[in-house]
Amino acid sequence: MSALPSAFAPSAEADYASPAVRQLRDDLALALRAAAHHDLSEGVCNHFSVLLPGAQDRYLINPRGLHWSEIGADDIVLIDVRGNVLAGRHRVEPTALFIHGAVHRITGHAVVLHCHMPYATALTLTADRALDPTLSQNAMRFMDRIAIDGHYNGLALDDAEGERIAHAMAGKDVAFLANHGVIVAGASIAHAYDDLYYLERACLHQVIAQSTGRPLAPVDARLAAKVAAQVQSEREQSDLFFDALRRMLPAPASAFAPLTAGRHRG
């Protein structure tokens, strides 16, 4: 497995430069900048990825060493599920290969967003490990969508770690990773980012409510399921939100040179 750029096959370079993949790179970079804007990112760690159209073995991902606020479409890297860099000018951080490769391969989700956003991560440190989807309206959209991987085992530096996370997600598109962070998956970058944003909002509301020390007031699970179905049946708001983010957070004007091992440490 290699996370370093090498000599690229012409077909990979052509795919990377195609209009459809250029749009995916632009959208993925926008989602990363939005996450930085919304305080969902952490240093230069964590990753967002999206499968290439029609391919289950190649995906786009953010590079190692760039802050999410500075990432543009040309900073996104194309890799395969074995971690080989197929196109792009940057390196990829190893933990991304194990988590994202396994989740794409095993679950089939096109988009995988993984981060350590503060309020959601705080809930992974509790005995319940996750959000209660019967509390706030924002939480209800996640009813019957949440998986919990309760087996933290250190940094994700081997295939077994990513595969365990992926198998825990069976049939779900949101995962709370014990003592670690969250994964939100989906079919489109816009919809997955919308879910990520509102997941953190829901977790914030729960943490604040719990901090009052007062008894919580959940709704009936059937009502929460109704709200989840309502949200999932009409996603125009998600698309409009992403369009608004595009207007708010234009791509960086400058181009970043490849980052070498001597300049950055993982």
In degrees and rounded to multiples of 5, residue 127 shows phi and psi of -65, -30
| Cα 256–chain centre separation | 23
9 falls in which pLDDT band (50, 70, 90)?
low
- What does the pLDDT read at residue 56? 86
Residue 51 lies in a domain: yes
Count of the separate structural domains present in the chain: 1
pLDDT, one tens digit per residue, over 40-81 is: 999 999 999 999 998 888 999 999 999 999 999 999 999 998
Q: Beginning with the edge strand found earlier in the chain, give each strand of the sheet holding 58-61 in spatial order.
A: 85-87, 77-80, 58-61, 47-51, 111-115, 181-186, 174-177, 146-149
Residue 264 lies in a domain: no
- Burial letters for 178-212: b for 16+ Cβ neighbours within 10 Å, e otherwise? bebbbbbbbebbbbbbbbbbbbbbbbbbbbebeee
**Global confidence as pTM:** 0.92
Residue 119 lies in a domain: yes
Residue 5 lies in a domain: no
Residue 215 lies in a domain: yes
Residue 1 lies in a domain: no
pLDDT, one tens digit per residue, over 204-259 is: 999 999 999 999 999 999 999 999 999 999 999 999 999 999 999 999 875 555 55
Q: How confident is the prediction for the chain on average, in pLDDT?
A: 92
pLDDT at residue 178 greater than cutoff 60: yes
Residue 126 lies in a domain: yes
Q: Which residues span the domain enclosing 132?
A: 10-248
- What does the pLDDT read at residue 159? 87
Residue 260 lies in a domain: no
* CATH number of the structural domain spanning residue 69: 3.40.225.10
